[in-house]
Structure 1
Amino acid sequence: MNIEYQRYIDIIDRWIVDRNKTVILAFLVITLILSAGLGMTATDSGTSQFTEGVPAQEAFEDVNDNFEQQPFAGGTESTTLLQQEENVLGKSSLLSMLKAQYRLDQRVSQDIVGTNSFARIVAQQLNPEATTLERQVRTIERSSRSDIRQAVRQILDEQSSTAGLLSKDLNSQDPSASAALATVTHQLPGLSDDSSAGTQGTSPLTPIQQRAKFVVGSVDSDITVFGSGLVSAELSSVISDSLILVIPAATVLIFIFLVIAYRDPFDLVTGLVCIGMTMVWTFGFMGWAGIAFTQMLITVPPLLLAVGIDFGIHAVNRYREERVVGTDPTDSMEVATDQLLPAFFIVTGTTVLGFAANLTSDLGPIQDLGLVAGVGILFTFLIFGIFLPALKLLVDTKRKQYNLPSFSITPLGSEDSATGKVLSVGVTIARRGPHVFFAVILLSTAVMGAYGTGIDTRFATEDFLPPEESPEYVEALPESIAPSGYTVTQTINLLEETFESSDSDTVTIYIKGELQRDSRLEELYRLNEEPPDSFVRNGNRADATSILSVINQYERASPEFKNLVARNDMNDNGVPDQNLDAIYNNLFNSPYADQAESYMTADYSSTRIVYSVKSEESQEQITTDTQKLASDAKMSATATGSVVVTKAVSDVIAESAYTSLALAILASAVFLVIAYWILERRPGLGIANLVPILLTIAALAATMRYLDIPFNVLTGTTLSIGIGLGVDYSAHLVHRFSEEYRGSVELYEALAVSVRGTGGALAGSMLTTTSGTGVLILAVIPILGQFGLLIALSVLYSFVASVVALPTTIVIWKRGGDILQKHRIQSSLIK
């Protein structure tokens, strides 16, 4: 049965046995080189990374760049001030807001180029010449309370849009509101228009907004400073706090189970050294490759632990199986590597394919996860397949040379052990009723898989934020390791609850083209006719604002402009059809220029229409209707807005999840069939190997739906990753069976030996891995807790499916092969 591949294994054996010191030195040198990359690893803690490349998001950014940031130049970012008082429209509260903005404006470090607040509008209403914050402060100070109330009423009556700066409980008759929003805009030197300030852990806006909190705190008022820089700081803090919680807990649990699995301090230290090297290699590679550490990559250490622990326990356990019967250490290691290197190769190949399937995703962070995890698994194969045996053999040689104490060398899952008897249950079922049980396996896989297709898909910034209230276990932690106090989620929820949302209840059609051409405005006008059901209607037209709205406003204020529009309105519907250049030039040189620039670019090359949508309609329906409306436009039009972007990313997540799952299954099947054909001349074992994996994936999908865990940017990868981890368990068992089932060895005896021997190592690996990955539940970010739970369940399901379902699958494979062989013999006799 030994074919060409054995020659390469023999070469590796010779290096491990005869030149183990050279092997160890080479691996240590590589570790030193890769460790230099650890200091090069950057951190990316934002959510904009998940929307990059999504057309709706690109259009959304274009809209913001072209219409939302006027009149400031590129390279600006804003800070929000949230004021909460009994009445923010009272004299003292208005004065406090103006003082806060004035003190910020006086700080050179704030680089302020503009400020906005309801308090400023009131001051200018009282004194039109008060154009600076200093003069506005004096204006409010000198004004009576009755004058201020009258000014507020007039503003709310004549400028209804200003109510958006005030809370929902606004009383415009007897002016009062419990909260107000204000903004200050900063010019950030060196920040380009397309910069992602606020999305990186090192955002230039972070220190500015942290200093702003100190400045605003000097004002006697309840004003909260909020902005993307502070969000970035908390997101980065969440990552580090999660690691501080997860790593010690995982280390303790893993250490306990490894002590139980190895029962030998020398073997324990050897295994831990190899795990540490795997981490250094992987994250060093990230530094050298320039891959930033994101929230998603927090999952890589548990994944590498899962496979590394499995490889380590298998290597030591198989070596012990030979040592316990009196075989020499050198010969024992040769036998172990002869059997394990092919098994490790199969596991590595399929696991890498499972991770690499995520490279097909359109989301960059998911691609990075697939790449980093795949490379990490390759490193794990090299370290645990070559370095660990060489180090283990060297240590055992020195122990014997220096007469160091010998500890337990009994393998896990021996025949007489309780573990061995429990693990044999699958063999007993396979012996007594394989056909019935196999039918149950297929039926349950189909039922759970069908149920699992109903998994929801969601994407929201809140997925990456800490909960508003810390879990009870966080409160019980010592102060030295307890997470920081978080305010982002609380502030976001407060903003959503307190103020009318001008974003979530609107969508935008972003249009590009030569807007000066005749009838272009008529085309925009026709887009608003007979709107979809999810859009708010005004008669038989959509409730929308656009450049047409600004034209109508200026018409009411200027008879000359109204006449100009009328002269160029060929069908008397109020929309100019020709001479649009003159219309635009007149509008953009009028007092309404700022409003015009918020809907059309100054070069007349792009415009936007903002539609009101029904808040009770589903995200999917709103997005579908908006995209349909955009497709009806004669010019180049893109549907965008926060609702559309969120739905677009959700669709990409779902598509990535199912595409990567299908590719992972297909690639794993092809790889397993080829691998078992090359290694054992038994390609059918590759298909048998897949059955428990499919059962695991179906059970995992059903669990996600039952527990209402949606596909998101992180959990969307669990199904394809589950294939990689699932193969880890079934491949070891199948390969061990193929080694045992040779010559005159009876089928069930080969299964029993395989399940007791390899199954014991699988049990130790499962307990260690589920505890090591399950501790992600302690992470501050809920999305990580969900991922940790799913990976732990994936490992548990894989173990149970391999030990219980795989023996029956192999029996069916054998009987099917016997029937096929008998049919071939009969056919040859007939011929």
Structure 2
Amino acid sequence: MAPQDRLLRRTNDLVVGRPRAVVITFLLVTVLFVPGLATVSTEAGTEQFTQESPAQIALERVNEDFGPTFASSGGSTQLIHRGRNVLAKPELLRMLEALERLDSRDELRVSSTSSAAGTVAITLDPSATTLDAQIRTLESASPGEIDRAIRTAADQPGFRNQLSDDFNRQSATASATIAVVQHRIPGGVDEAAGMGGESPLVSIQRQSQRVVQTVGGDIVVFGSGLVADEFSSVIFDSLFIVVPAAVVLIFVFLLYAYRNPVDLGLGLLSLVMTLVWTMGFLGLAGIPFTQLLIAVPPLLLAVGIDFGLHAINRYREERATGAAIRPAMALANRQLLVAFFIVTTTTVIGFSANTVSDLGPIREFGIVAAFGILFTFLIFGIFLPAAKVAVDELVDSLGLTMPFQRPLGREETLLGSVLPLGVEIARRAPTAFVVLVLLGSLGAGYYGTGVDTTFSQDDFLPPEETPAYLEALPEPFRPGEYTVTERTNFLEENFETAQGDTVVIYVQGPMRQDDALESIQRAGQNPPDTFVATDRTADFESIIGVVRSHADQSASFARLVDRSDVDDDGVPDDNLEAIYDALLSSSARDRALQFITEDLRSARVVYTTEADAEQGAVVGDARTVADRYRFEATATGGVVVFQDVADAILASAVQSLLIALTLTAVFLLAIYRALVGRASLGLVNLAPILVTITLLAGSMRFFGLPFNALTATILSISLGLGIDYSAHFVHRFADEYEARVESVSVADGTPPANPVFPALTATVTGTGGALTGSMVTTVSGIGVLVLAITPILGQFGVLTALSIFYSYLTAMVVTPSVVVVWARYIG
């Protein structure tokens, strides 16, 4: 007896021979996983994706090298003030009053404030350097004096940047302004391209909002702490909406599929145990719960429902022939354990393929999902059959009759009359149909190569307006109030400084070398189209600007610069070390250290990009400009980091799919060779899934659904989940086919003619019923992800539901023709 047969027999003997011991053991293991539920932590936002990006690493180096000003040692809060005219005297006083109340609260750790109102007050009275003095100055000023001060202050770029784009200098009016409050926070605030995670600003900005509300008017608080807070809230609110909706839909469909309260209870108990094991493992392993992991429970429910329906339905088939409880379960489970093993292994391969990703959250998703599927196999392949035997024997011992035991998909039912459609096609024109499907798949796959790849903070944020159907939900399911998206959009639409992006070139090399500054100047000449330019020179900030600015203020420094400018182009190319020494010992020191390090080994150059430029084009151009530098130069900044992640997402999707396909194909060939001596059946098993993947890729492009941080996993997931349907079908066909091939006529000893179609018919009417119930239930259960608050989860729900539907359709309609072609030319 082969090793796998011995293991199968021992497992089956344990399930059927000692069902109560098996049930008690599994319940005890479940109790051991429960403590892990209490230790599950959360991690939200985009920052988790950017941590390992090369551009993010370079950005962190920039923050370290230019920390005194470029990376604040504290954190900041923005106050967004809106109104008919925020520059009117009462509104200016309202803003200063809000800032004064914040400053008076020690727990808010205010270190400084900056506002247009403060600038106006200082313009009126240069000695008004405190908030109290600024309030008194404005209170004593007339509206005409204030208007004149606004026109004078308008010459200052900093003042103009704090006002909305509709600022009118002549009438001294604007509809919005931004004030900035700096906080002293021990340990500082991490500077990352993304938002999210634990932030010390969360509590400060929550309190700040409550304080600001006391002054009245339309002033709201905005900052990274509130963004992080909403990221976390969205996870819990989404789960609180999605999970109950999934449970209700799953319960309704399972009630119909099982049509028996006892079997329904066993199926639901098994699903709950699967989730407890998986979430307990998450806590015990110290893996944080992220937005991506929200998709894991629905995926496990999908596989668990499928396994449960197959286990119960196959057992009912044997009971319908008159077999006793234990013999019926022994025969059913012998077949199903093999099918479950095939499905589990291929699904684990599909999920585990995501561990090759360069993105940590996608790797963790692959690990958790793979363990979850393994737990599903153990619970539904061992616990559920044992529990079913124990319960049925208990019912028998009490002299009761178990109601509604007819299997799904029998020929006399409506479903049974529809399921053989694929078999009928296979009878009439299998080869032509397979060729047609192949051509269609190639076309869909080619069309799908145009799918977009994106990564942005907007993917994780709730919509600006909560959909009406979510607002209509009763408490406690109604989601909370979300403000970040609305405020982010407002800033982008109304403030010029919020519209464009900047890219940072991090230069490493001997900046005292004579041509160092010339290299920076030359790199910005004839810039790419995505860079903002004046007279064919890129708009950028660098140490060159600091040199020129200080030369305008210091005559002696100007003479030094002039002597060092050999080619008279305004950029020093000699005596650079002397220039730096003079600069760093002057009042311009702090400003200079924003762009060059004290050891003169690194420099920072900031370029402004066009507001309407595509992210990919900006990053490509930034790297082109970086290549122009004589020294080592790295393009970084938020837009570069996000593009790095987008590139990693696409690479992850392709790599995961190729690895999963290769390993799955090898496994299927080996397992069918070991089980039935027909390795080629592995290719039959794989064919419907390849069709599913191409259809899914084409659908993504057709419906405008991009690869993003979550949907990047969909192709390998489709492979893993899709194998579920075709594996059940092909394995059941192999059993039915072998049984008919081995049978002989008693009269003349010859095998019956063409056993393929009887085997296919038995497969679709037996396994097809369970597959249909599983498909309807899981599509509904996973489809409820469209109710999730964040767009990224809705997209994932749609794609996963499509994946399951396509997998079912190809298994039931395409597989019969593939089987006939296989039998005709290979089998």
TM-score (norm 1): 0.95
Amino acid corresponding to residue 171 of structure 1 in structure 2: N
Query: 1:66 Cα deviation (Å)?
Result: 4.8
Distance (whole Å) between structure 2 residues aligned to residue 610 and residue 506 of structure 1: 6
Q: Give 1:125 deviation, angstroms.
A: 2.7
Alpha carbons 2:189, 2:199 under 8 Å: kept: no
Deviation at 1:99, TM superposition (A): 1.6
Offset of residue 69 of structure 1: 6.1
Amino acid of the structure 2 residue aligned with 1:168: D
Q: Distance in 2 between matches of 1:589 and 1:153?
A: 35
- For 1:785-804, what aligned pairs fall within 5 Å after superposition? 785-804=794-813
Is the deviation greater in 597-606 or in 65-74? 65-74
User: Among residues 364, 367, 371, which one is paired with 1:371 in the alignment?
Assistant: 367
Q: Secondary structure at the match of 1:632?
A: coil
Q: How does 1:712-727 map to 2 (within 5 A)?
A: 712-727=708-723
Instruction: Name the structure 2 match of 1:5.
Output: 4
- For 1:343 and 1:97, the matched residues in 2 are separated by 68
Is 2:194–2:457's contact at 8 Å kept on the other side of the alignment? no
**1:335 and 2:334 equivalent?**
no
What CA distance in whole angstroms lies between the structure 2 residues aligned with 1:481 and 1:384?
31
Assess if the C-alpha contact under 8 Å between 2:72 and 2:189 holds in 1: no
Q: State the 1:163 CA deviation.
A: 1.2
Cα distance in structure 1, aligned partners of 2:645 and 2:499: 17
What is the 5 A alignment of 1:527-546?
A: 527-546=523-542
The question of whether the paired residues in 1 share the 8 Å contact of 2:76 and 2:180 is answered with: yes
Deviation of the 1:614 alpha carbon: 2.8
Q: Tell me: CA distance 1:207–1:616, structure 2 relative to 1, closer, same or farther (3 Å).
A: closer
Gap regions ≥5 residues in structure 1? 819-831
Instruction: Report what 1:162 is aligned to.
Output: 159
**Displacement after TM superposition at 1:321 (Å):** 0.8
Is residue 565 of structure 2 the alignment partner of residue 569 of structure 1? yes
Give the 5 Å matches for 1:52-91.
52-64=51-63, 66-67=65-66, 70=69, 74=73, 76-91=74-89
Q: Partner amino acid for 2:117?
A: A
Say whether the 8 Å CA contact 1:271–1:312 is kept in structure 2: yes
**What residue number does 2:640 align with?**
644
Give the structure 1 partner of residue 199 of structure 2.
203
1:741 counterpart SS class: helix
Deviations 1:506-535 (A, max 9, x none): 322122233233321122122112222332
1:583 to 571, 579, 582: 579
3-state SS in 1 of match to 2:470: helix
Deviations 1:396-423 (A, max 9, x none): 1111112234112111111322212211
More displaced, 429-438 or 94-103? 94-103
- 1:433 is aligned, of 411, 424, 429, to 429
Q: Give 1:115's aligned amino acid.
A: T
Aligned to 1:189: 186
- Deviation track 1:291-312 (CA, whole Å, cap 9, x = no partner) reads 1111111100110000000001
Distance in 2 (CA, whole Å) between partners of 1:410 and 1:138 is 86
How many angstroms does 1:179 deviate by?
0.7
Q: 1:522 is matched with which residue: 518, 522, 542?
A: 518
After alignment, is 588-597 or 667-676 more displaced? 588-597
Corresponding letter in the other structure for 1:31: T
Report how far residue 144 of structure 1 moved. Answer: 3.2
Where in structure 2 are the equivalents of 1:687-726 lying within 5 Å?
687-726=683-722
Deviates more, 1:506-515 or 1:435-444: 506-515
Q: Is the 8 A contact 1:197 1:204 kept in 2?
A: no
Letter in 1 for 2:47: S
Q: SS at 1:415's partner residue? A: coil
1:406 aligned to 397, 402, 406, which one?
402
The answer for the alignment partner of 2:747 in structure 1 is none
CA contact (8 A) 1:197 1:229 kept: no
Pair 1:747-2:756 in alignment: yes
Pair 48,83 (structure 1): closer, same or farther in 2 beyond 3 Å: same
For the structure 1 residues 589 and 121, does the alpha-carbon distance in structure 2 shift closer, same or farther, using more than 3 Å as the test? farther
* Shift of residue 606, structure 1, vs aligned partner: 2.5
Contact 2:63/2:71 (CA < 8 Å) preserved in 1?
no
Task: Confirm or deny: 8 A CA contact 2:56 2:192 kept in the other structure.
Answer: no
User: CA 1:50–1:153 in structure 2 vs 1: closer, same or farther (change >3 Å)?
Assistant: same
Q: Which moved more, 1:538-547 or 1:705-714?
A: 538-547
Shift of 1:577: 2.2
Corresponding residue number in structure 1 for 2:748: none
Task: Give the residue type in structure 2 aligned to 1:757.
Answer: G
Spell out the pairing of 1:61-460 with structure 2 (5 A cutoff): 61-64=60-63, 66-67=65-66, 70=69, 74=73, 76-157=74-155, 159-191=156-188, 193=190, 199-200=196-197, 202-460=198-456
**In structure 1, the residue corresponding to 2:466 is in which secondary structure?**
coil
Q: Which residue of 2 aligns with 1:815?
A: 824
2:26 paired residue number: 27
Q: Which amino acid aligns with 2:622?
A: T
Distance 1:81 1:194, change over 3 A: closer
Distance 1:14 1:246 in 2: 39
Letter in 1 for 2:332: A
CA distance in 2, matches of 1:21, 1:671: 34
Deviation at 1:600, TM superposition (A): 2.5
Distance in structure 2 (CA, Å) of the matches to 1:791 and 1:686:
24
Contact 2:64–2:71 under 8 Å retained in 1: no
Contact in 2 for aligned 1:3/1:679 (Cα 8 Å): no
Post-superposition shift, 1:621?
1.9
Cα distance in 1 between the residues matched to 2:192 and 2:526? 39
Counterpart-to-counterpart distance in 2, 1:604 and 1:502: 32
Residue 49 (str. 1) matches residue 55 (str. 2): no
Structure 2 runs not aligned, ≥5 long: 744-751
Q: Displacement, 1:91?
A: 2.4
- Alpha-carbon distance between aligned partners in 2 of 1:570 and 1:269, rounded to the nearest angstrom: 87
Deviation by residue 1:558-609 (Cα, 9 ceiling, x = unmatched): 2111111122222222222233232123223333333323322344332222
SS in structure 2 at match of 1:442? helix
What amino acid is aligned across from residue 7 of structure 2 in structure 1? Y
Q: Give the Cα–Cα distance (whole angstroms) in 1 for the partners of residues 299 and 532 of structure 2.
A: 48
Q: Are the counterparts in 1 of residues 193 and 638 from structure 2 also a CA contact under 8 Å?
A: no
Cα gap change, 1:102/1:514 in structure 2, threshold over 3 Å: closer, same or farther?
farther
3-state SS, counterpart of residue 376 of structure 2: helix
Greater Cα shift, 116-125 or 37-46:
116-125
Deviations 1:635-691 (A, max 9, x none): 221112333222222111111112211211111111111111111111101111111
CA distance in 1, matches of 2:187, 2:388: 54
Alpha-carbon distance in 2 for matches of 1:598, 1:83:
30
* 1:504–1:643 Cα contact (<8 Å) kept: no
Residue identity (%)? 49
C-alpha contact 1:198 1:205 (8 A) present in aligned 2: no
Q: d(CA) in 2 for partners of 1:775 and 1:612?
A: 42
Q: Which amino acid aligns with 2:238?
A: S
Q: Give a deviation string over 1:724-757, Cα, whole Å, max 9, x none.
A: 1100000011111111111136111011101111
- How far apart are 1:324 and its partner, in Å? 0.7
**Is the Cα–Cα contact under 8 Å of residues 736 and 754 in structure 1 kept in the other structure?**
yes
Does structure 2 retain, via aligned residues, the 8 Å contact 1:733–1:758? yes
Superposed displacement of residue 197, structure 1? 11
- Alpha-carbon shift at residue 192 of structure 1 (Å): 6.2
Give yes or no for the alignment of 1:624 onto 2:633. Answer: no
- Contact 1:427/1:808 (CA < 8 Å) preserved in 2? yes
Structure 2 CA distance, aligned partners of 1:443 and 1:454?
18
| 1:776 is aligned to 2:785 | yes
- TM-superposed deviation, 1:65: 5.2
C-alpha distance in structure 1 between counterparts of 2:133 and 2:578, whole Å: 39
Shift of 1:354: 0.7
Q: Deviations over 1:33-58 (max 9, x none)?
A: 11111111101122111111112233
Offset, 1:489:
1.2
Find the aligned partners of 1:139 and 1:812 in 2 and give their Cα distance.
90
